[in-house]
Amino acid sequence: MITRAEQQQARAAAIDLFRKAGIVLSEQEQAAIDAVDFGLSNLKVEGAQILTLVQTARLSVKLLALTPYQTEPEHWHPPVDDDPGKEETVRHLYGDLFFYVDGPDTLSQGFIPSGKESVYSMRNEIVLRPGEQLTCEPGSKHWFQAGSRGAVLFSFSTVARDILDCFTDPDVRRQTVVAEDVAQ
């Protein structure tokens, strides 16, 4: 759960990062940026700010902003009926982005959030520079993290069913709950 104030702060930080990446958003798009805490109530450490630009029955385009050192938890996109699962290409636009996939443990520039070693099993680090991209096959576990400048990236994929994504951390809940701020 996050508070309305945390949601607004995260949205403002995302808008700032999008501007740094040279992305112009309408006021309506700015208001539609989701602050996603994955139910962990620790948005600054594990979370993402996500704007869905296109969502059809066959295609999804999202714009993501990660604030400095923010981590999107380890997850994969499972099969759904006859669909093998979401195939996703991530294109890095701005900042520092460390991406983790299956393979040898090369983790060196990023870090696993404190106390979460058991739920971040992918340790093969790929450092993406702005203009570089990576494609994740359906069902492949992955996670990513911003460095000191934060990160902005596009996600181009087959149909997104984010609510059905699977996470290594059993505490993750894909729906973020936003609580009204308590007056003092």
Instruction: For residue 34, give the CATH number of its domain.
Output: 2.60.120.10
For residue 101, give its domain range: 2-179
Is the per-residue pLDDT at 161 higher than 90? Answer: no
pLDDT at 183: 63
Answer yes or no: is 147 within a domain: yes
Model pTM?
0.94
Mean pLDDT for all residues in the chain = 95
Domain count, the chain: 1
Q: Which residues are CB-neighbours of 106 under 8 A, at least 6 positions away?
A: 123, 124, 125
Answer yes or no: is 138 within a domain: yes
What is the spatial distance between Cα 77 and Cα 86, in angstroms, rounded to a whole number?
A: 5
Answer yes or no: is 184 within a domain: no
pLDDT higher for 75 or 163?
75
What is the spatial distance between Cα 179 and Cα 174, in angstroms, rounded to a whole number?
A: 16
- Cβ–Cβ < 8 Å for 146, 67: yes
Confidence bin at 118 (pLDDT 50/70/90): very high
